[in-house]
Amino acid sequence: MIVKRQFHGYNECMTALSLRERYEQLKQEIHFHNYRYHVLDAPLISDAEFDRLVAELKRIEAEHPDWVTPDSPSQRAGAAPSEKFEKVRHPRPILSLANAFGAEEARAWFERIRKLDERVERAAFVVEPKIDGLSVVLHYRDGLFVQGATRGDGEIGEDITANLRTVRAIPLRIPLAGMDRGPWTVDRDAQEALTSNHASQPSLFDDLRPPSAVPRPPSSLFVRGEVFITLKDFEALNRRLQEAGEKTYLNPRNTAAGSLRQLDPAITASRPLTLLVYQVVYAEGGEVPATQWELLAWLRGLGFPVTDVARRFESLEEALAHVQTWEHRRDELGYEADGMVIKLDDLRLAEGLGYVGKDPRGAIAFKFPAREVTTKLLAIEVEVGRTGVLTPRAVLEPVEIGGVIVRNATLHNFDYIAEKDIRVGDRVLVKRAGEVIPYVIGPVSEARSGAEQPYRPPETCPACGGAVEHFEGEVAWYCVNAACPAQLVRNVEHFVSKGAMDIGGLGPKIVEKLIQAGLVRDVADLYFLRREDILAAVTKKERKTEKEPPGKIADNLLAAIAESKKQPLARLVAALGIRGVGEVVARDLAQAFGSLDALAAASAEQLQTVEGIGPNIAAAIVDWFGREQNRKVLEKLKAAGVWPQSSTVHGPSSTGALAGLTFVVTGTLAGFTREGVKEFIEAHGGKVSDSVSRNTDYLVLGEAPGSKLQKAQALGVKIIEEEELRKMCS
Ligand code: IVH
């Protein structure tokens, strides 16, 4: 057997790799590529290639469950929900930080500690961002991640190991396999890209040491870091939730905190949490660097995510000058930071200074001014989104927040306005973080004059006057008129966007004109546009330069529209704008069904056999394809030749002992996690469904079964136990 070995971007051929060797190799590869993606933000392979590696790993693990070790990439998710969090005593107190508001307070801190130890006079400092997230402590024993805890009261935290395992930036084993060959040697470009943004001072990456210096960690190591959500991920998460009619989150910090405190790790796994580490709390059985600067490089060398904007300075004044530049550049960080931490570089010197209460003397948090202000809420406007969701938006008396004039802010949803009792005319507290849309925190009720008006959500769509509806289990109100012009504009914008049909040059102004002129009544009409239609719709704004003739714009656009007919099925499925069906779900649907005809004919049950599709999305898909006007759009697309077929139908496998059989699982199984049993059945060609129906062949019965058992009995579905399931496959 010849197995092609693909690792670290090299290809080499290896002969006669045993399955066990291949398995070990796969684990390392997946960890390595995970690190490239989630820690360095510099992937070497595509998502699809990565998915294939994971699928191969899971196939092997399904056949050899006894090979699986806790550091396998498959063990990040899948732990069963717990009842409560156990308490964990930290090996040493998890300290906080004293604050300094302004340079004077920082200088006063320096004076105080200089008096305690004269070596402070000549001390160097390290400056790092103060990330606004949740402090966690990660315990590694013999290189293996064994426990993770919240800070708690600083002495005792809560055991959130299962949740932290789902955070992909956290290494499950250190040092990360491949570190010696990986980022240290092949990745000068990525390092340069990362450091060039902040090039004024030497960076951690300049401290690169040769591969032989990849350290061996102490046998017991407790590392502290901050778990958070980047502003970009936060916005994307909220956008998805909003389009699905679900409640959006208020801010990244609360979302991260709430996600870490979920009893079901599967929920945590679905949130885009990440982490940066900055401290060793305790170590035994090995050396740890004696300066903060070396410590950060050392942690990085072990495979931990470490900030790339830390800098070292020979004096406090230099450190302060640097910190002050960050006050204006904080948006560049991409996450919420409420200040910068100034730390004595010499960790022993810092330690020797002791602490005051919970604040160590050797470091101080230089706080940035808060980006919250009050202003008057002039009006509440309602926007209509692509899926028809009505979203309230605050119109504010313009106000400056951290150097930006803010005129609008999000109010999340109508329930939020009611819960917070936000009234038009109120003084409201508004917060802005990074590039994220500012949001209204709440009213300043004390400032009311009595003239403020309680708000009532609209009973009709503000764009078309049509009916609005509320769906069971959702927070949003929808305009259900498919011909609503506001929805249509958003729909077309979505259809032509990059992740969908990718038709460049079709800007919102042209779209609006085409809709106004009655030339575009649905997305399929784009494929029937004539040159003169576009010419009439092209306004001056569309011409990038005065010289670009409208004829050329029209020709380019027609070419782009024609070219989009070649887009694969997954793109078209994503482009349709079905609630809850983004790029990832669309890709899975395209793989499972292979054509729009098959997808349109699928029942909610069948849809739910696709991983990641629950009852809500399945219902939304069935609903979408059931609507008359959508069927018309599909017919028109077909007539226009926009009807891609997927050549890679993965679907349930047609071979294997369980091929053609549908299973439902109830209760807890002794030898499988919930995900594990699903993978086992699928690996043997079977399908797994969430609910019992006449199409169910077997109910797999575990401890403490739910109502599925009664339903299966009522329908006469065969009931088997875990043992029998295994026998069917052996
Ligand atoms: S050092 C002895 N460094 O800020 C070490 N803390 O307000 C004390 N934080 O509880 C902490 N980023 O959760 C340190 N780069 C950083 C930090 C940081 C965020 C948090 C930490 C701490 C809080 C204090």
Cβ–Cβ under 8 Å, residues 204 and 308: yes
162 CA → ligand 1 middle, Å: 23
Q: Is the CB of 135 under 6 A from ligand 1?
A: yes
Q: How far apart are CA 83 and CA 77, in angstroms?
A: 17
Helix/strand/coil for 263: coil
What is the H or E stretch that residue 312 is in? strand 311-313
Task: For the chain, give the percent of residues with pLDDT over 90.
Answer: 51
Tens digits of per-residue pLDDT, 460-471?
999 889 889 887
Q: Does domain 480-649 have CATH number 1.10.150.20?
A: yes
- How wide is the angle at C-alpha 633 spanned by C-alphas 631 and 639, nearest 5°? 105
Q: Please, are residues 242 and 218 in contact by the beta-carbon 8 Å criterion?
A: no
278 lines ligand 1 (CB under 6 A): yes
Residue 152 has pLDDT above 90, yes or no: yes
| CA angle (260 as vertex; 258, 265 as ends), nearest 5 | 115
Q: Which fold has domain 372-454?
A: OB fold (Dihydrolipoamide Acetyltransferase, E2P) (2.40.50)
Please check the confidence at residue 258 and state whether its pLDDT lies above 80.
yes
- Where is 519: in which H helix or E strand? none
- The dihedral of CA 99, 102, 108, 113: what is its sign? positive
CA 413 from centre of chain: 21
Classify residue 258 by burial, with Cβ atoms within 10 Å: 0-12, 13-18, 19+.
middle
Site to substitute for ligand 1 among 151, 226, 359, most atoms within 8 A of C-beta: 226
Q: Token digits for 665?
A: 């699982």
CB 405 within 8 A of CB 361: no
Give the CATH architecture of domain 89-179+195-367: 2-Layer Sandwich (3.30)
For the domain made up of 662-729, give the CATH fold.
Answer: Rossmann fold (3.40.50)
pTM, to two decimals: 0.70
Which helix (H) or strand (E) element contains residue 546? Answer: none
CATH 1.10.287.610 given to domain 3-75: yes
Which residue is closest in CA terms to ligand 1's atom 13? Answer: 135
Q: Among the listed ranges 108-122, 125-139, 690-704, which one has the minimum average pLDDT value?
A: 690-704
Give the pLDDT confidence score for residue 683 in this predicted structure.
Answer: 72
Ligand 1: distance of its center to the CA of 600 in Å? 52
Q: What's the CA-to-centroid distance between 97 and ligand 1, angstroms?
A: 6
Task: Give the chain's radius of gyration (CA, Å).
Answer: 29
Q: What is the residue extent of each domain of the chain?
A: 3-75, 89-179+195-367, 372-454, 480-649, 662-729
372 vs 399: CA distance, rounded Å: 10
Min mean pLDDT across 135-144, 172-181, 573-582, 660-669 is at 172-181
Is 4 annotated in the active site?
no
Q: Tokens 């010289």 appear where?
A: 547
Distance CA 234, CA 694 (A): 41
Q: Is 337 in the pocket of ligand 1 (CB under 6 A)?
A: no
* 196: Cα within 13 Å, side-chain hemisphere: 6
Given a cut of 90, whether residue 579 has pLDDT beyond it is no
What is residue 224's three-state secondary structure?
strand
**CA–CA separation, 299 vs 285, rounded Å?**
16
Does the CB atom of residue 362 touch ligand 1 within 6 A? Answer: no
341 Cβ closer than 6 Å to some ligand 1 atom: yes
Q: Residues 658-684: pLDDT tens digits? A: 877 889 998 888 877 777 788 778 777
Q: Kindly state if the Cβ of 363 falls inside 6 Å of ligand 1.
A: yes
Positive or negative: CA dihedral 369, 371, 372, 373 = positive
- Cβ-based neighbours of 433, under 8 Å, separated by 6 or more: 231, 251, 252, 336, 371
If one residue of 204, 278, 343 were mutated to test the ligand 1 pocket, choosing by the most ligand atoms within 8 A of its CB, it would be: 278
Return the H-helix or E-strand segment holding 337: strand 337-344
Give 345-402 pLDDT, tens digit per residue: 999 999 999 999 999 999 999 999 889 999 999 999 999 988 788 999 999 999 999 8
Catalytic residue among 27, 58, 130, 678: 130
| Helix/strand/coil percent split, the chain, to 5 | 40, 20, 40
d(CA 479, CA 467): 6
What are the φ/ψ torsions at residue 345 (nearest 5 degrees)? -70, -40
187 close to ligand 1 (CB < 6 Angstrom): no
